Chains A and B, each alone.
Chain A
Amino acid sequence: MNAKSEQLYRGITRIDDDLLEEAEADRQAPLAKKRHSLRPLALAACLLLVVGTVLTVSRMGLSHRNPPAGGTSGGGNGPAASRPYLTEDGVVIPPLQASLSADSAEAANMIPFFIYEGHWYVWAEALPVGADLAEERLGTATGLIDEWTPADGYVDLAGSVEGPFYRVKGIDPSFMLCMRDPSGWLELYVNGHGITLKTGADLVTGRLHLPERYAGLEYQSWEDWYYSTGTMFTLKEEREEDALAFLELLRSGTFVPYTGVEDLTSLPHIRVLLDNGLRAHFSLFANDTDGYVFYYGFDGVYLKVERETLMNFVSLLEQEDSGIPAETEDSSLTLEDCRSDPTLGGYLPAFLPESLAFQSGYIYYNVDPETAEVGPAERIHLELCHASEASGSYGAIDVVSTEELKESDAGVPVLEREELSLRQVEKYLEDGDLDVAVRMGDVAVLLSSRGAEAEDCFAILDSLPRS
């Protein structure tokens, strides 16, 4: 242990209270969405989703469900109904329940979810642009519960996300559904509450249809996963028997509540690929006596497996000749990727100064709500910041249609490309902040900057195409 690091830790502990309050407010805010997306939460009806922790009594009259007599809880201090608990039939993951609170001290996380036919589908995984797994459209999630929700508590289709959702190819809709994100990624939502799981077969065979649908296996070390380094490997085909043995290990495992499971060492992350393009994400753990596997879709439970077999598989993955480097997935694009977009890429500025250098880029597409097919780009978003550590300047560029600009950024001054001048930019620069858009026909480029000089902002806008 580094004593100086610890001293810094203690110093950080003593920072001013108002800085903590500011960060706490940031923590309590809903998950950040892209600038153009979902409607903001209504303060009067802030729906909190509490997963696997203490639930508050719902004002909507939904009641707790208590475990059956003789059932045992998985431990912990909260009400037994709030956590997965063990019964003779397996681990019960209790249903999720809504907690309406306008002012809660709960450290709750707003997790993407929606309700369909009484089941809560919670975000589990995302597949990159190009994943073609969406089938029949089953409904449209409407977003937050509001003051019009009936008093009897009927909340179907409500949730923290809104938009159409679809059946996943080859998967029972009572287990998994999907939505297409405007970035083109396919978001998978799993119904993992209000269910009972006994053995790994309930997941591996019963829901994922493995090993019949096995198509491959990818893996990465825990450190690479944690830091999203992008380093990942595909298990070589000649190792298929080992992969199938791993699936058998999962299948024969037993579900246990995670409370009471201690002293776990983090091991690699695994993605089992199915022949329909789906993948199942697992993280592996072990303590001195057992192996544990967490499936990204089932909160609060582990699959307890035989330790030695698991560690042998981990050792195999750590061998250099077991896998080949896999293509990385990064939802963030390079500047060249953004410039290559056939619809909007040509409208990006040709020049970016050091004070507002490119940091990351995103493209958002027009998605067909009926089919989830990805259409042309409707927005390109660039994140900018100072290239060195000398300054805190940062900003963003958005390329959108002028119609979209009216909807999402009404109030931002709009200049015609021909009338752009340094004086115009200086006019809109206030206390180091600038928000201005330049129109070029049906397309507008919006520049937001904080802490950059007017000359640099003008240079960006002046490098926009002239025709």
Chain B
Amino acid sequence: MEDRAIVELYWQRDESAVTATAEKYGPYCRAIAGNLLGNREDAEECVNDTWHQAWQRIPPQRPENLRAWLGKVARGIAINLWNRNHAEKRGGGMDLLLSELEDCIPGGAEPERALEDAELGAAISRWLRGLPREERTLFVRRYWYGEALQDLAKSRGVPAAKLAQKMLRLRRKLRSALEKEGIFL
């Protein structure tokens, strides 16, 4: 079913919207949640919450890109689930991913105001567009889709150690770019 038709079902408050969403984007959202949470039970909870959020938010929202919209909702739920369920125990992809992202934190004075997620997202988007396609897709696949380094390395036919070096360079580049824009967290 076309995305537009699925969104229309939400607007008509037709519950088959959720079924259609799950059929089309279930594996996609499950993959993202699985990558980040590393735990089937949490991943399923994340996916179910994503459908619930979709039902709650559409309308008034009318996402133009339903797949991307659902993925973002799933990521937001994933970090909350991870915080809630794993206060003591850490594990799964989220652990490593957040640890790696520490390399991207710009240095400098404390910000005068809290930066909106959307502002930060826009700045990161600008930086990504300045990268060669290869590096851009690698960064997004690792830090948005949460794919494991080993899997990315296999997809590129390179050793994971070499890819880890490249990812470290990319994280440092992001840090420099954020500092140049005067963005501090």
Contact = CB atoms under 8 A, between A and B. Distances in A.
Contact of A22 (B65, B121, B133): B133
B25 A105 contact: yes
Contacts of A262: 39-41
A230 B161 CA distance: 8
A17 B65 contact: yes
Question: Would you call the interface of chain B mostly helix, strand, loop, or mixed?
Answer: helix
B130 A392 contact: yes
A7 B185 contact: yes
B102 A4 contact: yes
B149 A227 contact: yes
B132 A450 contact: yes
Nearest to A53: B27
B128 interface: yes
B172 A6 contact: no
Contacts, number: 178
Contacts of B30: 107
Contacts of A23: 136-137, 140-141, 144-145
Contacts of B149: 226-228
B102 A360 contact: no
A392 B136 CA distance: 11
A349 B161 CA distance: 25
A27 B141 contact: yes
A106 B23 CA distance: 10
B120 interface: yes
A10 interface: yes
A330 B163 CA distance: 13
Nearest to B74: A13
B8 interface: no
B90 to A, nearest CB: 8
Contacts of A69: none
A12 interface: yes
Given A226-B149, A389-B169, A107 B27 contact: yes
Contact of A13 (B104, B121, B164): B121
Interface stretch (B9-17, B50-58, B151-159): B151-159
Given A228-B153, A262-B41, 17 more contacts: A4-B102, A6-B98, A8-B120, A9-B101, A12-B143, A12-B144, A13-B75, A13-B121, A14-B118, A23-B137, A26-B137, A27-B147, A228-B149, A262-B39, A264-B91, A360-B162, A392-B131
5 contacts: A9-B98, A14-B118, A14-B121, A31-B157, A392-B132
Interface of B: 24-25, 27-28, 30-31, 39-41, 44, 64-65, 67-69, 71-72, 75-76, 79, 83, 89, 91, 96-99, 101-102, 104-105, 115, 117-125, 128-137, 140-141, 143-145, 147-150, 153-162, 164, 166, 169, 172-173, 176, 185
